Structure formats: C-alpha cells, structure tokens
Structure 1
Amino acid sequence: MNFRQRLHTGEIMYGLTLTLGTPQIAEMIARLGFDWIWIETEHTTMNLDTVQAQLQAIAGNGTAAVVRVDCNDQTTIKRILDTGPDGVIIPSINSRAEAEEAVKFSKYPPLGERGIGLARAQGYGLDLGGYVKSANDEVAVIFMIEHIRAVQDIDNILKVDGLDAVMVGSLDLAGSMNLHNDLANPLIELEVQKVLRACQRAGVPCGAFVGDPSQAKTRIEQGFRLLTLGADVLLLAAGARNALATAKSG
C-alpha cells in the first residue's frame, strides 16, 4: 500500500522533518521505522539536487518521502514532483481558488496541468508510460493550513477534488493572528481545532507538527492522524545539549 493509500485508511502515521539536506541523515532516519519523512525546502537552502539525493537515500527503506515546496507555483511543483517523492506539501493554501490551483499543478491531465518530462520520477524515461498512468493515483497532495484566512475558508478548501490531507501550521497561523509573541495563547489552539473538526467532517486526514514527541498522544487522541515528531536540527541540538549537560554534571 502506497503513502497516498495509507493516508485514506485513517491509520496514524509518524514522521520527521529534515532540514539539513544530507542524504546520510535521510538514509539513517529512513532506517528507524518512521512511516514518512518531510523534506523541507520552504525554509532551507535545499535545491533540486539536494532533494533528489535525499529521495535516493530514502528509497528502499520502507519509508515514504514527501517534499514541502516553497510556494504554490506550477513550475516549482512540477520540478519537485519530477524528482520522485511520494507526495508534495504545498504551503499557504488560503482559499478554495488557491487549493484548486495547487491540485491542477500537481496532477497530470485530465485532472490537472502537470507537464510530462523525463526525470527520476519517470525512471529517466524508462518508465514514462507507467508513471504518467499511475501518478495521479499514487502521489499525495497535502495542503498547509497556516493562516487565519485559510481557517475561515476551510470547509470550501476541503471540498477540492485531489486533496489527500492537510497539515496545520500553528506558528504561521499564530503570526497571521498577530500572536507570534504569544504562542501559548489559547486562541491559537481554538483555530487549530476548527481545522481538525472540519477535516473530520469532510473525511480528510489532518496532521500537525509535534515539537515535543510527548505531545503526540494528545494530538492522536484529538484526532490528528499525520504527525511529524520534530525536526533533525531540533533533535540534534537537544541531544548535544543533553550530552554536554550530562558530562558537566558528572
């Protein structure tokens, strides 16, 4: 069962976000048993070669790889999809019109307008026909809901055909509410829960970034099904800090 199919079974899927862009780290994480890996290009210096090298390192380890692009742009999405990920995360989807565009950019005709090329996704041409035939059914399309305008239009966004899941971006959501200096404000979580309930009504899987893995149980009990349990840089920093503190305390 591929990643897109698993999304629609309702199972809980545990992931990790990669920001450092090294295939060695990607390969190591893929061997640990995570269901999926989020390769982050919106807030990193990664280029297409970096993304593709990580996808090649992850392949064959039983872990799905999904790339967050840096914008809802046809050329950007096309070029990332041609590197061969299992899905694409599209940021800042704030309206139904933007959602429809994102799907259009991500799907081959007749469902969309994705261009057909020869790259890793198509086996460099060796599997062109098979990939073009199956990609619309096998490559997941995930929207980031991360602005108060998106929350206000969430029911319409969720009606767009071709959407497979949404991820709630709490930090940017807080910023759009002028609460970026007050991240503990309960008004932020109130909007997060509005998105979750809308997804549950629509039958669309809803995901969240869990900065502290101990919070995962709470998010699962609430109904979130697609989780990323932090980021490589955060885990590296936490481990290094703990090692130094332990050594000094001894």
Structure 2
Amino acid sequence: MPLRVKPDETFRDALRNQTGAAGRPLAGMWVCSGSPLIAELCAGSGLDWLLIDAEHSPNGLESILAQLQAAHGYPVQVLVRPPVNDTVVIKQYLDLGVQNLLIPMVNSAADAEAAVAATRYPPHGVRGVGSALARAARWNRIPDYLARASDTISVTVQIESEAAVAAVEEILAVDGVDAIFLGPSDLAASLGLLGQQEHPRVRAAVEHCIAAATAAGKPAGVNAFNPPTARAYLAAGAAFVLVGADVALLARGSEALAAQYIPPDPVIGPAETPTSY
C-alpha cells in the first residue's frame, strides 16, 4: 500500500531559501557522540543544521539510523559525513534515509563526479538499487521513489587540501555538487601548517574558495569554532557555518565546572616526587 509521506526539504533547498531578501547564513553544529539522545537534544536547540560525523567519530550504520530517527521530528537540517568518498558506503547511507551528504576529502573534479554518481541510480549514476529493503523508500511504500530519489538528496563536498583549493573552480562546476564546505584543519595540515587554522595562508585559501563559490552561484560553508573567525568568513560570503560540537561543548563545560569547584593540585617539588609505588 502506498505511503503518503510529506516530502522533506533538503539542505540544498534550505540554502536556496536563505539566499532571498530575508535570508541569512545557516548556523550549525557537529554531532559526534554517537548518541541519539544527544542528537535529539541538539536538534531541538534552534540551530539550523546538524552534522552527524562518521569520519572522526564512533558512528556506524546503526547509530546513524537511530540519530536520524531521533532528529526527524525537529525543524533542523541533518547532514551526515561518511568516513570516505566510497560508492558502497554512500549507498548504505542513502538506503538508511540520509538525504544530505557531506563528502570528505574531495580533491578534484573527478572525486566530485564520483560522489555525485554514487547518489544517483543508473543511467545517471551507479547507486545500487535496493529500495524494497531500504528505509529511504519506506520499503517501496513511496510511489515513484526510484524516479525521484535524486531530488531528495543533496551533495556537499569538502574542500580541505591544497589540491582541492587549486581545483575548486572545476569542483564547483560539477553537475550535482550543491555546495562546498571548507575544512581549515586539514587544509592547514596540507599547507604544512598543522594546527594553525588561523594562519593567514589558511584564511586566504578559505576566502578564495568562498569567492569562487559565490562567482559560480553555489553556496560555500566553513568550519569555524572561533567566533571572530566565523564572523569574518560570513562577512566574506559564507552561506553556512559549523560553530561548535556536542563533544567539545561537553568537554569545555565539564572542565569549567571542575575549575570552579575543585582547587588546583599543589605543585610537587623534586624532593617530594615519589620514587616507587
């Protein structure tokens, strides 16, 4: 029996809508804990979007599915970052019901083309067909899902290397790339500036890519936890930003509690250092 499902707005649609006269950049945060409870808590925060991360976080298929379900009832866009730009992994994420993908380490137009192809059924791509088994199609309860699937999916690719910056215009020109996202941490490492996300060369590379996206008519986003840096990138034309992470907020908040209520350990001088236990 066909299931009547209200079509969800994709991240691509949200970005298009925010470019109008009353539009504004979209602010979001990372969700890295792997917890559906934390995902739901963040989904109700009032932020515009969440990024569930599986590249550097303990997230597998089951935890991603649970977090998608937990966040589904809230007015927030949810993106998911797979660990790698891989056709099989992307197929599994899409079948789970992931609608908005952030693909890491896209260094060339060919990488971008492969990412887009992984999201589309033949003849326009290489996505495997398993809609009868998949939550994405509500197990074949959504009429014409196979024909309309690409309309329900957005693809954002991550620019986070010197090679990607050099190829950003070609990457932006790939049909099916809806937006680019700048990762200053890996970009800094690629430039030989590990841990120096605020270095002028890194900032200049990020702003170059934002300008290229603006010229191409596509949105650019950036990761920026430092508020002055985030505001500077927004002023340069960034359409969306990530400004925090669940695990970082918990780490800094718990450290602040400890600093407030627990006195610092006394300094142990050399003569007092134990020599055995």
Give the alignment's TM-score, normalised by structure 2. Answer: 0.85
Matched residue, 1:207: 221
What is the aligned partner in structure 1 of residue 139 from structure 2? 124
Shift of 1:204: 1.0
Identity of aligned residues (%): 37
- Tell me which residue corresponds to 1:37: 50
Further displaced range: 92-101 or 183-192: 183-192
Contact kept, 8 Å, 2:185 with 2:196, in 1: the verdict is no
Question: What amino acid is the match of 2:172?
Answer: L
Which structure shows the higher helix fraction?
Answer: 1
Pairing partner for 1:151 from 158, 165, 180: 165
Instruction: Tell me the amino acid that sits aligned with residue 20 of structure 1.
Output: S
CA contact (8 A) 2:197 2:203 kept: no
Q: Out of 7, 31, 51, which is 2:15 matched to? A: 7
Aligned residue number for residue 104 of structure 1: 117
Give the secondary structure class of the aligned counterpart of 1:45: coil
- C-alpha deviations, 1:139-189, integer Å up to 9, x for none? 110000001001111111110000111110111111111110544321111
User: How does 1:158-169 map onto structure 2 within 5 Å?
Assistant: 158-169=172-183
In structure 2, which of residues 12, 28, 31 is the aligned counterpart of residue 18 of structure 1? 31
CA offsets 1:51-91 (integer angstroms, 9 cap, x no match): 00000000011112111011111001110111112301111
- Per-residue deviation at 1:214? 5.2
Note the residue ranges of structure 1 that are not aligned, 5 or more in a row: none
Aligned residues: 248
Q: Contact 2:221–2:238 at 8 Å: present in 1 too?
A: yes
- 1:1-250 matches, within 5 Å, as 1-9=9-17, 10=19, 11-117=24-130, 118-127=133-142, 129-213=143-227, 215-248=229-262
Q: Aligned partners of 1:146 and 1:219: how far apart in 2?
A: 16
What are the Cα deviations for residues 185-238 of structure 1, in whole angstroms up to 9, with x where unaligned? 211111111111110110110001121345433322111111111111111111
CA distance in 1, matches of 2:195, 2:64: 32
Larger Rg: 2
Structure 2: runs of 5+ lacking an equivalent:
1-8, 264-277
Q: Matched residues in 1 for 2:136 and 2:209: separation?
A: 32
- Following the alignment from structure 1 to structure 2, what is the Cα–Cα distance between the partners of residues 46 and 2? 22
What secondary structure sits across from 2:138 in the alignment?
Answer: helix
TM-score normalised over the length of structure 1: 0.93
- Cα distance in 2 between the residues matched to 1:62 and 1:196: 27
Is contact 1:8–1:164 with CA below 8 Å preserved after alignment?
no
1:4 touches 1:138 (CA, 8 Å); kept in 2? no
Q: Displaced runs of 4+ in structure 1, greater than 4 A?
A: none
| CA distance in structure 2 between the aligned counterparts of 1:15 and 1:21, rounded to whole angstroms | 17
How far off is 1:247 after superposition?
A: 3.1
Task: Give me the whole-angstrom Cα distance separating, in 2, the residues matched to 1:184 and 1:56.
Answer: 36
- How far residue 248 of structure 1 moved from its aligned partner, in angstroms, is 4.7
- Superposed CA offset, 1:6-32 (max 9, x none): 122324111111111000000111111
CA distance in 1, matches of 2:169, 2:154: 20
Quick one: distance in 2 between partners of 1:21 and 1:131? 29
Aligned residue identity for 1:5: D
